[in-house]
Structure 1
C-alpha cells in the first residue's frame, strides 16, 4: 500500500466539500476518479498530493520519500515565451531529460514546427501536452492527472492512453471522458455526497455494477415501503381498537387490563416502525425520460424529405487549403460525427452548413424545408440575466409544463429552473442552450463540441435526448464514448481531405484497423488515381492501329491494371 486516508474532511467556509472520506491506494493501480462537478475530486487529489491541507481525518504514506506528481487542469508555467525557450529553461542542466521530453512531445502530435510559438498562443490541448510531457520526464511513484483529455483531440487521447498503459506506476485519473477511462483504468472511485466508493473494473464495468446496485436498492426500498405501510395500518387499527375497548371497559379493571396489553403491542409496532424509518433506504432517483413528443413536435405526422443537405466538391481555404473536394449527403435520420485533429476544419464546416461562413467554393444544397439550430462553444443564444425557465420559454411556442419536463430530463429539477443563467456552471449553461435550441422546433442540429465542460451525468442525459430526437444531427466532438452512442455516420478530417464512414465510432475503428493492415486510405486513393490515368492512357493506345503482338501485350497490361484498381476500390468501399 502507498497511501491510506481515513475520515478525511475539508471545509470551504461553512460547507463541507469532503466529509469522512476513506480510501487507499496500492502500488501500480490505475484508478479513475469520477463524480458530479463540485463533489470534491480535485480537492481530494490535492490533499493526497500534499498541495492542500485538510480539516480533519488522517492521511498515511508508506514512506516519507513517496513521490507524487499532480497535473493541473490549467497551465501554470511561463506563458510569454516560446516553447523552444521553455524547453531550454527547464532542461538546460539535463540533456537526457530534454531529449526524452522532445521525443514525447513529438509523439503526442505536437510537432517541431509549432515550438517557435509562444505558450500563450497555444491551444488548451497543446498546453496540456506540454505539462504531461514534462511530468513524464520526472521520477515519481504516483501520478494524478486532473482532466487530462480536456481540449485534446482524438490523436492526443490515443497517445496518452498508450503512455499510461505502458507505465508501471500508480496512476489516478480525474475524468469525465468515459472512453478514456475504459481504455486506461482497472478501478473506479465514485465520489459523491455520501463518500467514496470503490468499484473494480473500467468505466463500462462500473456502469453495469451500478445498474445492478440500483436495482437492488430499489427492491429494498419497495420492500421497506411495503413494510412501513403494513405497520402503519396495524398501528392505526390498534389505536382505534384500543380507544373503543378503553371506553367500553369503563371501570371494569379486568377489561381495562386486557386493553392495556394491546397498548404494549401497539408500542412495539411503533418502535419497529421508528427503527425502519431510521434505517430507511433512500428512494433511488429515476431518470426522467426526454419527452419524445415535446422534442419531436415538428416531425410527428409530417413527411421529411430523404435528402436534407447535399455537399458536392466543397473547398475552403484561408492562407492555405483547410479542406478540398469534400462531398457527402445528410439524409433523413442521420446523426453525423466530425472527427479529426484540432485545426483541420471541423468547426469551419459546421459554420458553412449553418450559413455563417459563405466564403467557400463548391456546391452546398440545403433543402428549403430545413430549420437549422446551431450550438456554438460561445453559448451566445442565452440571456445571462434571466432564469433557466425564462430562457427556454422566451420565443418558444411551448407551455410551462412542457418546458419543465424537458428541463427535468436535462437535470434541472425543482427550483433549479429559477436560477439565473449567469450563476450556472459552464456545463449547466450548455444544457440550457440545448433545451432552447431543441424547443425552437428545428429539424437539424449543428453542434460544435457539445459535451465540453459537462460531467458524466450531464453527458448521459444529453445522449438520451439526442437518441430520441427524430431530426438530423451533425456535430464535432473529441468525446469518443458520446460519438459511439449517437452517430450513424462519421466524417474524418485528415490532411485537407474528408473521408466518410458509415456506422458509429466502433465501426470506424474496426475499419481503421483493416486499413492499417494494408495501406493508409489517402495512399490508396492516390494509387487509384494513378491507375485510372494509366487505364485511360492504355485504352487510348488500344484504339490505335497496332500489331497483333503489341495489342496483346497492351490488353494484358490493361486487364492487370483493371484488376489492381478493383482490389483498391474494394478496400475503401
Structure 2
C-alpha cells in the first residue's frame, strides 16, 4: 500500500489568465478503485496529465508508483495487435494478455489481426488488458466507455471491479457503480475523496448541498434581522446622546448612551460572524437550471416508417432488417452491439447516402434536428457558429450558460473546448431547433453527470418525438419509451 499525494498544487495553462487548480490538496491510496467525477472543463484530464508529468506546475505531487494512461497513444495502428501489446507492456508474456482478454470475453485470435481492423470497443478492451499487464503500475483511465456498447460496458465494469490501482474518469453512473470503491470529486472550488461508489457519493453530496442551502437561508435571515437591530440600536444611541444637551443628570444619560453603543457593537459583531459563516457555504453548490425545448407537433401521427431496412458495408448486410414506425411522442432507443448499424440507420433518416436494403418513408415537410457523434468540425467562435446555423444567438448562449458554460468560454475558439463542451454545443444547437423529430447519435459522449441528468429532466418534461442511440444505461432507461433491438 502506498499513497499518491498532491500538495498545494497550482496550475494554469500558459495562454490562460485563470488557474485551473489553486492550492489543491488530496491523497489517494494506490490500491483503491477510484472514480474521478466533475463537470466538463473543470480539469479532470489536466490533472491526469499533471500526474504523468506532462506539464510544469507549482506544488508537489508525490507517488511511489509509475503511472500509465488510457487511451494509450498508438503510433502505427496497422501493426498486428500482439506487436502493439509488446509496445504497451514490454515486460509481460503473451499468455498474460490472453488471460486478460479472456476476462473481457475476447478471443485470442485478435492478437493476430492488424490493430486498425479491430472495432473501437475491441481496441479499448485490448489496451486495457495490456495496460493491466504492467505490474505495480497505477492506471489513469480517461473515459473508456465512449466507444463501448451497453453489453461491453457491463463486461468492462466487471473486469475493473476485479482490479485495483486505478483512477477512472467516467460520466456513466451505472458503470461507475459497477466498478469503483472510492470517488474523487473535482468540485467548484475543492477536490475531495470519499469512500463508496458513485450513488453513495451523490447522495452524500446532495445532502451536504441541501444542508448548506438551508444554513445559507437561515444565516441570510439572521444577517437581515441583525442589520435592522444594529440600525435601531445606533439610532437609539444617537438620540440618547443628543438628549444629554440640557439634561440635569448628564452622567446618567451618558451611561445610558454607552450602554446602547455597546449593544450596537455586540449586534455588529454577531452580524459579522454570521456573514463569515455564510461565506464558507455554497462554494461547491452545483446549480442545474431547467432547460427548455420547443418541439413542433407534426400534422400526422406517423412521422417515419422503416420497412425491412438493413445497412450494408461493401455489399454485405451487417444486421438483420428492421421494420418499425416512429409515432408522435415516442422516444425510441436503438440498441445493439457496435457495428450493428445503429448510426447508419440514423444517417439514412437525415438523408445521407448509405448502402441499404428496404425503404424509409419520411413524412412530408418533416423538420429533423440531428446531433451527430462526431465533434471534429466544431471550431471558431460561438457567435459565428450561431450565425452559420441560423440560431438565435441569445437563446443559444443562454442554453450553454445553463449547461455550466462560463462567459469566458464565449470568447474562446471552440477548437480549444473540452470534448464534453463541444458535445454540449451540438446539443444546445438542437435545443434551439423547433423540430418535429429529434435524432441524436450518442449525445452524451464526454458530457458530465449533472448535464446528463439535466437533459433527462428536459426530455421528460417536454416529451419530444425522438430516435436516439445512447449506451448510458441509466439515461436510456429513464428516457426511452421503446427500444428497437438490432
Choose the corresponding residue for 1:275, options 258, 273, 288: 273
Q: Secondary structure in 2 aligned to 1:149?
A: helix
**8 A Cα contact 2:313 2:355, kept in partner:** no
Out of 167, 172, 175, which is 1:172 matched to?
167
The aligned runs of 1:7-46 (5 Å cut-off) are 7-12=7-12, 13=14, 16-26=19-29, 28-45=31-48
Which is greater in Rg?
1
Q: Work out whether residues 176 and 454 of structure 1, in 8 Å CA contact, stay in contact via their aligned partners in 2.
A: yes
1-structure distance, mates of 2:241, 2:389? 64
Query: Does the 8 A contact of 2:219 with 2:274 survive in 1?
Result: yes
Give the deviation of 1:296 after TM superposition: 2.6
Coordinate RMSD, CA, aligned: 3.4
Q: How big is the shift at 1:349? A: 0.5
Determine whether 1:445 maps to 2:438: yes
Partner SS state of residue 73, structure 2: coil
Q: Which residue of 2 aligns with 1:459?
A: 452
Closer, same or farther: CA 304–412 of 1 in aligned 2, 3 Å: farther
Contact 1:189 1:199 in 2 (8 A): yes
Conservation of the 8 A alpha-carbon contact between 1:33 and 1:174: yes
Aligned: 1:337 with 2:333: yes
Q: 1:76 to 1:239 in 2, by over 3 A?
A: farther
- State the SS of the aligned residue for 1:104: helix
- Compute the displacement of 1:107 (Å): 5.5
Match for 1:131 among 127, 130, 138? Answer: 127
Q: Report whether the alignment pairs 1:70 with 2:68.
A: yes
Equivalence for 2:308:
313
**Cα deviations by residue, 1:42-70 (Å, 9 ceiling, x for unpaired):** 454566677777632563x6xxxx64452
**8 A contact 1:35–1:455 mirrored in 2:** yes
Query: Which structure ranks higher in relative contact order (CA pairs < 8 Å, sequence separation ≥ 6)?
Result: 2
Question: Is the CA contact (8 Å cut-off) linking 1:30 and 1:170 kept in structure 2?
Answer: yes
For residue 244 of structure 2, what is the aligned residue in structure 1?
249
Which residue is 1:202 aligned to?
197
Equivalent residue in structure 2 for 1:232, among 227, 230, 236 = 227
Alpha carbons of 1:424 and 1:359: their partners in 2 closer, same or farther (altered >3 Å)? same
Cα deviation digits, residues 167-196 of structure 1 (max 9, x gap): 3x3343222222210111122121224332
Higher helix share: 1
Give TM-score, length-normalised by structure 2.
0.85
Structure-to-structure mapping, 1:345-364, within 5 angstroms: 345-357=341-353, 359-364=355-360
Q: Secondary structure at the match of 1:317?
A: strand
CA distance in 1 between counterparts of 2:388 and 2:209 reads 34
Contact 2:172–2:472 (Cα < 8 Å) also in 1: yes
Please tell me whether the aligned partners of residues 91 and 134 of structure 2 are also in contact (alpha carbons under 8 angstroms): no
For residues 198-237 of structure 1, the C-alpha deviation after alignment (integer angstroms, 9 at most, x for no partner) is: 3332112222222222111111000110111011111122
Picking from 353, 368, 372, the partner of 2:368 is: 372
Is 1:475 aligned to 2:478, yes or no?
A: no
Counterpart residue number, 1:287: 288
| Counterpart contact for 2:70–2:139, Cα < 8 Å | no
2:72–2:127 CA contact under 8 A, matched in 1: no
The answer for the alignment partner of 1:3 in structure 2 is 3
Question: How far apart are residue 487 of structure 1 and its match?
Answer: 1.5
Structure-2 change in CA distance of 1:263 and 1:425 (3 Å) = same
Give the Cα–Cα distance (whole angstroms) in 2 for the partners of residues 413 and 23 of structure 1: 26
Report if aligned partners of 1:389, 1:417 keep a CA contact under 8 Å in 2.
no
1:218 paired with 2:213, answer yes
SS in 2 for 1:128: helix
What is aligned with 1:501? none
State the distance in 2 between where 1:19 and 1:30 align: 26
Q: 2:390 aligns with which of 395, 401, 416?
A: 395
Q: Could you tell me whether the CA contact under 8 Å between 2:311 and 2:354 is conserved in 1? A: no
Unaligned ranges ≥5, structure 1: 493-497, 499-573
Q: Which runs of 5+ in 2 are unaligned?
A: none
Counterpart in 1 of 2:296? 298
Contact 1:68 1:142 in 2 (8 A): yes
1:185 aligns to what?
180
Q: Answer whether contact 2:35 2:170 (CA < 8 A) is retained.
A: yes
In 2, Cα distance between the equivalents of 1:190 and 1:17?
15
**Offset, 1:442:** 0.5
CA distance in 1, matches of 2:478, 2:117: 34
**CA 1:353–1:113: 2 relative to 1, 3 Å:** farther
- Partners of 1:388 and 1:420 within 8 A in 2: no
C-alpha distance in structure 2 between counterparts of 1:24 and 1:316, whole Å: 50
- For 1:144 and 1:93, locate their aligned partners in 2 and report how far apart those are by CA, in whole Å: 19
Contact 1:108 1:159 in 2 (8 A): yes
1:428 maps to 421
Answer whether contact 1:421 1:429 (CA < 8 A) is retained.
yes
- Alignment length (residue pairs): 476
After TM superposition, give the deviation of residue 449 of structure 1 in Å.
Answer: 1.7
Match of 1:490 among 469, 473, 483: 483
Task: Give the distance between the partners of 1:191 and 1:55, measured in 2 at CA.
Answer: 18
Aligned to 2:143: 147
Structure 1: distance between partners of 2:76 and 2:22: 36
**How far, CA to CA, are the matches of 1:54 and 1:485 in structure 2?**
42
Tell me if the contact between 1:71 and 1:132 (Cα under 8 Å) persists in the aligned partners.
Answer: no
Give, in angstroms, the shift of residue 36 of structure 1. 2.2
* TM, length-normalised to structure 1: 0.73
Question: C-alpha separation between the residues in 2 aligned to 1:392 and 1:204?
Answer: 41
Q: Is the 8 A contact 1:447 1:475 kept in 2?
A: yes
